């Protein structure tokens, strides 16, 4: 962190912190899109922040994606007991390595903690969705979401996420029409930060994220700047945001 002080990254972080009204921002040096090792720096900082929130009986909701996955190697058993990691949403068929279900088991293994997964299709029909809501395994997950003490999540550009999720041409059209710019925990937000779409699957609700005591957001890279500017219009104030220098500079320049 001393190195970050010298390089002016702390001032940059403060600027973002004040502008978005967040609890804390950490900017790691470099360019995520040019250099894969930046992901390691992000993961290390995010894991440190998370470990410092750890309390007995903590319930931690975790989303998928590369950025969140980067924490795994830096987690280790905490002094607190009975931590449970819960997948924040039903899985994505593709990208097994990066989905929430896989990450919670990896995080739990590292920390000697428990985990809960939820294997459901990414796009449920209205009928299937309603039927699922009555399933005990789903009500159990909903109960965990309601009591989440911490949420660790990524932020994506709406366009990239829609493609990654194999959204139908119809869904893609709706997203474009509604001006979706960013995506986090299955919600799509427009440039003003308004929720314009939500994928129909079982997952944590935005209200539950807002109520969570600690929120850790990890996202980096220039490609995500528009998405960050959109999502942080509505991000909960308790959010700790970990990003890279290139994205932070681009955000600062856009203000």
Closer residue to ligand F6P in complex, CB, 4/231 = 231
Smallest distance, ligand F6P to C-beta of residue 66, A: 3
Task: Compare residues 78 and 148 and give the one whose CB is closer to ligand F6P.
Answer: 148
Judged by beta carbon, residue 64 or residue 236, the one nearer ligand F6P is 64
List the x/- string, 15-54, binding to ligand F6P by CB under 6 A: ----------------------------------------
Instruction: State the binding string over 64-103 for ligand F6P (x if CB under 6 A, else -).
Output: xxxx------------------------------------
Q: Output the smallest distance, CB 83 to ligand F6P, in A.
A: 20
The two structure tokens encoding residue 23? 């609890």
For the segment 134-193, give every residue that binds ligand F6P (CB under 6 A): 153-156, 161, 183-185
**Runs of H (alpha helix) within the chain:** 2-6, 9-20, 37-51, 66-69, 100-111, 126-132, 136-146, 158-164, 169-177, 206-211, 225-231, 245-254
Residues 41 and 248: beta-carbon distance below 8 Å? no
CB-nearer residue toward ligand F6P: 47 or 78: 47
d(CA 216, CA 103): 15
For residue 195, give the H/E element and its range: strand 195-198
**Ordered DSSP codes for 15-79:** HHHHHHT-SEEEEESS-TTT-THHHHHHHHHHHHHHHTT--TT-EEEE--SHHHHTTGGG----S
The nearer residue to ligand F6P, 69 or 78, going by C-beta atoms, is 69
**Residues that contact ligand F6P, how many (by CB under 6 A):** 13
Closest distance between ligand F6P and the C-beta of residue 154, in Å? 3
CB closer to ligand F6P out of 154 and 236: 154
- DSSP character at residue 97: G
Closest CB 95 distance from ligand F6P, rounded Å:
8
Note the residues at the interface with ligand F6P (CB under 6 A).
63-67, 153-156, 161, 183-185
């Amino acid at each position: 962190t001393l190195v970050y002080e010298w390089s002016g990254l702390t001032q940059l972080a403060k600027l973002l912190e004040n502008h978005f009204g967040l609890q804390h921002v950490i900017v790691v040096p470099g360019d995520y899109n040019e250099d894969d090792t930046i992901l390691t720096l992000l993961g290390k900082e995010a894991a440190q922040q998370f470990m410092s929130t750890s309390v007995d009986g903590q319930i931690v909701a975790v989303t998928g994606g590369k950025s969140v996955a980067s924490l795994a190697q830096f987690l280790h058993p905490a002094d607190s007991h009975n931590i449970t990691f819960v997948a924040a949403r039903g899985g994505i068929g593709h990208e097994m390595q990066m989905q929430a279900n896989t990450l919670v088991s990896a995080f739990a293994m590292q920390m000697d903690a428990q985990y809960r997964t939820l294997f459901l299709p990414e796009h449920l029909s209205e009928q299937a969705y309603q039927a699922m809501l009555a399933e005990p395994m789903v009500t159990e997950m909903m109960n965990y979401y309601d009591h989440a003490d911490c949420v660790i999540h990524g932020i994506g550009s709406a366009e990239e996420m829609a493609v990654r999720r194999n959204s139908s041409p119809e869904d893609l059209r709706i997203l474009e029409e509604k001006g979706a710019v960013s995506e986090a925990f299955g919600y799509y937000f427009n440039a003003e930060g308004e929720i314009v779409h939500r994928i129909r699957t079982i997952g944590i609700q935005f209200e539950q994220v807002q109520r969570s005591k600690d929120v850790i957001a990890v996202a980096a890279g220039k490609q995500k700047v528009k998405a960050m500017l959109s999502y942080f219009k509505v991000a909960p104030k308790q959010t700790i945001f970990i990003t890279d220098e290139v994205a932070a500079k681009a955000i600062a320049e856009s203000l």
